[in-house]
Structure 1
Amino acid sequence: MKQQRREKINLLTLRMLGRVATSGLLDVLLLCGFVHAGVIHSHIALLYGASVVGINGFFYLLVKSGLNRRFKDPSMTFWQLVTAVLQQAGFVILAPQVGYLFLINLFLVYTCGALGLSTFLYVISWLVGSLALLLAFGLAGTHLSLPVATYFSQLLVCATFILTLGRSIYLTNMLSRIRRRITVKNHELLLAMQRARALATRDELTNIENRRSLMGILAIEQKRFQRGGTPFCIAILDLDGFKSVNDNFGHSAGDQVLKTFVEIVRNEMRLSDHFARYGGDEFVLVLTDTTVEEGVTALDRICAGTEMFDWSKFGKGIVLTTSIGITDFRAGESVKEAFQRADMALYAAKAAGRNRVMISPDSFDNNDGVTVTIKGY
């Protein structure tokens, strides 16, 4: 992954160097025009061309040799920007007759670095540029002029602004496309994170809460109970005879049975309740703001719905029921203790003949003295 990232950074850096070199060559052509117009000497155009080749060639070699990896920023945006600023300021001093060309280039230089620098480095680069300009204006300010003495030089000045406008539009469009790509990537990342979060908290088969999410839900309900005494119940549901479905008809049929059972439960639960797959064919229903008596009414309907459903559509002769153990959360206990009491009630429902709801006893310390309540079946 790191190697791919380095290769991508190198590719983007080389592309930017290519754009900068192309822009520099356009400036060289303009300078050649000013040489022809007699505004500057030819050595200015040659020196500027050599600086364009030298600077871009230097950074190109750093990238191709891999030395750029030693920098905190392998794209070397800050150093490219500072070098370009010093280059343009230097030529303002060397050729003030066409100094306007190098001055307007500074705006292009800073635009190129807009997305590649942190705020701190951008401020530092601005300070470097400001000092360079103070020096340039101090040494060549009185000689700066706009070379429009002849019709040809006027055309060159006009061409300079036209090309600068075109380059500005190109850079703005490029930055806009980069921002759009970043926005799309961020959106894709957000969706990926949401999918990862869903996979971490939801059961992949049934698309209900999983065991990890259930523990978080119970912790939240415990805090609500401790703060304001809001009651809640824990019900553990188990499909009677589910193992035979997998054994006789395969796991595909078993998966369809589990999904259907989830829908039966969902039809009887409220939006405020929480339903989770605890493991295999065992499920947990957290009934919020509910007493045991109120919860049993809904659980009885789940028992009835499970028994009456035509399970034979998933395999000939399939008959399924559900056994349920329920308890309320009580003051001074832990979630683990309440859960253990609901689990004991489930086992009591199984032992009593299945297909029923059992309310947990007041204590699970002594199984011999269990007092249970059977609802409906």
Structure 2
Amino acid sequence: MLNHWFRQADNVCYSNAILLLQRMPLSMHFFPALFRFPKDDPAQATRARHTLMSSVSALTVSSFTLYCTHIGLFRMSVASLTGFLTLAFIIHALFYAAICTGWNRRLADPSMTMVQIINSILWMMFVLYFIDQVRGAVLVLFMIIFVFGIFRLRLAQFVGAALFTLLSYALVIALLAYNQPQSINVKIELLQWVLLAMVLPWFALIGAYISNIRSALRHKNKELETALATIEHLASHDELTGIANRRCFLDALRREQARVDREAQPFCLALFDLDFFKAINDLHGHSAGDKVLRTFAECVQKEVRKSDYFGRYGGEEFALLIVDAEIALASSILERIRTGIEEQAFPLVNRKVTASIGVAQYQPGETISNLINRADQALYAAKKGGRNCVKQAIDDTEEAGVIMALH
């Protein structure tokens, strides 16, 4: 009977243990997610670091108050003070969690600098009210609080925080004079208040000045990043048409060659030449010619696949890298593009604009120079064959066979 009872109890315990293990992952994953440092977002990471720095400062002040309690300079029991310290820790944890979860982005000031400073000032007022004899020394800690304002606050916010500090300290003095007259020398406290009133405005001005410098530096850095992005774009793109320039296109061609040599996938190179483009410039002017080039580039870009790479090769010549395609498929794509160009309206020249196209398929081990030469020969054949058509290049093995047959 006892054995049966123990087996039943063991089964119940085992079932409860399984349920507990099933529920544990939710809580184990929730709290790490709540306090996970935002490494992937530089702005959030900076805010999290500042909040952690503030928490370390609060921990230092908390240790100081505990020591004062231990030596009898703090009018509060260790148990009561521990409760208040726990509350302070929870508040700092909530600030940090708000940043880690991204909730702070909903606020006008995602860094929550002013809110954290007000919270720290209130905590310092709590310390000032309950501490004895060393109250003047504690006032120095306000400088630490205002240092954090340098990261974000404007002059008006600095002044507001300074006024809030002075008014709060005046209230602490009044409460001490009324509730604890034996623990306070009003004249000394008023002198300390005057000194604080003299120091804080200057600290606010200097802090705001540094904050403005940091803000201007951030603005300049953003302008520099924009300028660098523009320079990189201009270095890799054709200014007139906005597509890749010759150097950028050749870099893409070399990357594709390296990929294909590893993976044994086909690709093709096509060269375009606008038919009778010199006549367009001569008859309608270079402005009209530039417009034709831009319209031509837009027309081709509408037809090419997202995986392909289109660029201006030079003058009225353009190049298209067609990836993962043998020459038959590439020719079909190019024929569709050629038809689209022929049907495209070019209002400034009041005539049809066509293009001759030569295409060559890359042969494993072939040099880029040789591939371009074969595509160029096919382009020459298209121009010689009446223009406005697509011609395929013969590969080296076919060319060698033709030469042997002639001999």
Which TM-score applies when normalising by structure 2? 0.52
- CA shift, 1:209, in A, is 0.3
For residues 249 and 288 of structure 1, the distance between their equivalents in structure 2, rounded to whole angstroms, comes to 37
For residues 194 and 149 of structure 1, the distance between their equivalents in structure 2, rounded to whole angstroms, comes to 63
Partner of 1:163: 198
Partner of 1:256: 291
- CA shift, 1:308, in A, is 2.3
Partner of 2:371: 338
* Change in CA separation of 1:266 and 1:329 when aligned onto 2, cut-off 3 Å: same
For residues 258 and 364 of structure 1, the distance between their equivalents in structure 2, rounded to whole angstroms, comes to 36
- CA shift, 1:295, in A, is 0.8
SS of 1:330's equivalent?
coil
- Paired letter, 1:359: Q
- Paired letter, 1:338: L
- Paired letter, 2:191: L
1:212 maps onto 2:238 in alignment: no
- Paired letter, 2:235: A
Out of 234, 237, 240, which is 1:199 matched to?
234
Aligned pairs, how many? Answer: 238
1:315 maps onto 2:349 in alignment: yes
* Change in CA separation of 1:230 and 1:171 when aligned onto 2, cut-off 3 Å: farther
For residues 363 and 296 of structure 1, the distance between their equivalents in structure 2, rounded to whole angstroms, comes to 19
* Change in CA separation of 1:255 and 1:217 when aligned onto 2, cut-off 3 Å: same
The answer (yes or no) to whether the contact 1:211–1:276 under 8 Å persists in 2 is: yes
Q: Equivalent residues in 2 for 1:1-377 (5 A)?
A: 153-311=188-346, 313-316=347-350, 318-363=351-396
SS of 1:253's equivalent?
helix
The answer (yes or no) to whether the contact 1:324–1:357 under 8 Å persists in 2 is: yes
Name stretches of at least 5 consecutive residues in structure 1 with no aligned partner: 1-99, 116-147, 371-377
* Structure 1 residues 279-335: Cα deviation after superposition (integer angstroms, max 9, x where no partner): 111000001111111111111012112222333x1124x332110010111111111
- Paired letter, 2:253: L
- CA shift, 1:367, in A, is 11
Name stretches of at least 5 consecutive residues in structure 2 with no aligned partner: 1-134, 151-182
* Structure 1 residues 260-287: Cα deviation after superposition (integer angstroms, max 9, x where no partner): 1112211210111111001111000001
- CA shift, 1:174, in A, is 2.7
* Change in CA separation of 1:364 and 1:348 when aligned onto 2, cut-off 3 Å: farther
SS of 2:248's equivalent?
helix
- CA shift, 1:104, in A, is 7.7
The answer (yes or no) to whether the contact 1:258–1:281 under 8 Å persists in 2 is: yes
For residues 269 and 333 of structure 1, the distance between their equivalents in structure 2, rounded to whole angstroms, comes to 25
* Change in CA separation of 1:102 and 1:303 when aligned onto 2, cut-off 3 Å: same
The answer (yes or no) to whether the contact 2:246–2:311 under 8 Å persists in 1 is: yes
* Change in CA separation of 1:236 and 1:364 when aligned onto 2, cut-off 3 Å: farther
The answer (yes or no) to whether the contact 1:344–1:364 under 8 Å persists in 2 is: no
- CA shift, 1:155, in A, is 2.7
SS of 1:353's equivalent?
coil
SS of 2:388's equivalent?
coil
* Change in CA separation of 1:246 and 1:102 when aligned onto 2, cut-off 3 Å: farther
For residues 277 and 401 of structure 2, the distance between their equivalents in structure 1, rounded to whole angstroms, comes to 29
For residues 226 and 379 of structure 2, the distance between their equivalents in structure 1, rounded to whole angstroms, comes to 39
* Change in CA separation of 1:289 and 1:199 when aligned onto 2, cut-off 3 Å: same
- CA shift, 1:366, in A, is 6.6
* Change in CA separation of 1:236 and 1:209 when aligned onto 2, cut-off 3 Å: same
For residues 197 and 101 of structure 1, the distance between their equivalents in structure 2, rounded to whole angstroms, comes to 58
* Change in CA separation of 1:149 and 1:265 when aligned onto 2, cut-off 3 Å: closer
The answer (yes or no) to whether the contact 2:267–2:362 under 8 Å persists in 1 is: yes
* Change in CA separation of 1:230 and 1:366 when aligned onto 2, cut-off 3 Å: closer
For residues 229 and 359 of structure 1, the distance between their equivalents in structure 2, rounded to whole angstroms, comes to 21
- CA shift, 1:345, in A, is 0.7
SS of 2:300's equivalent?
helix
* Structure 1 residues 168-187: Cα deviation after superposition (integer angstroms, max 9, x where no partner): 33333333222222221111
For residues 315 and 254 of structure 1, the distance between their equivalents in structure 2, rounded to whole angstroms, comes to 8
For residues 152 and 308 of structure 1, the distance between their equivalents in structure 2, rounded to whole angstroms, comes to 94
- CA shift, 1:355, in A, is 0.9
The answer (yes or no) to whether the contact 2:375–2:393 under 8 Å persists in 1 is: yes
- Paired letter, 1:349: A
Partner of 2:62: none
* Change in CA separation of 1:292 and 1:366 when aligned onto 2, cut-off 3 Å: closer
For residues 237 and 364 of structure 1, the distance between their equivalents in structure 2, rounded to whole angstroms, comes to 25
Which TM-score applies when normalising by structure 1? 0.56
The answer (yes or no) to whether the contact 1:341–1:364 under 8 Å persists in 2 is: no
SS of 1:314's equivalent?
coil
For residues 364 and 310 of structure 1, the distance between their equivalents in structure 2, rounded to whole angstroms, comes to 41
- CA shift, 1:205, in A, is 0.5
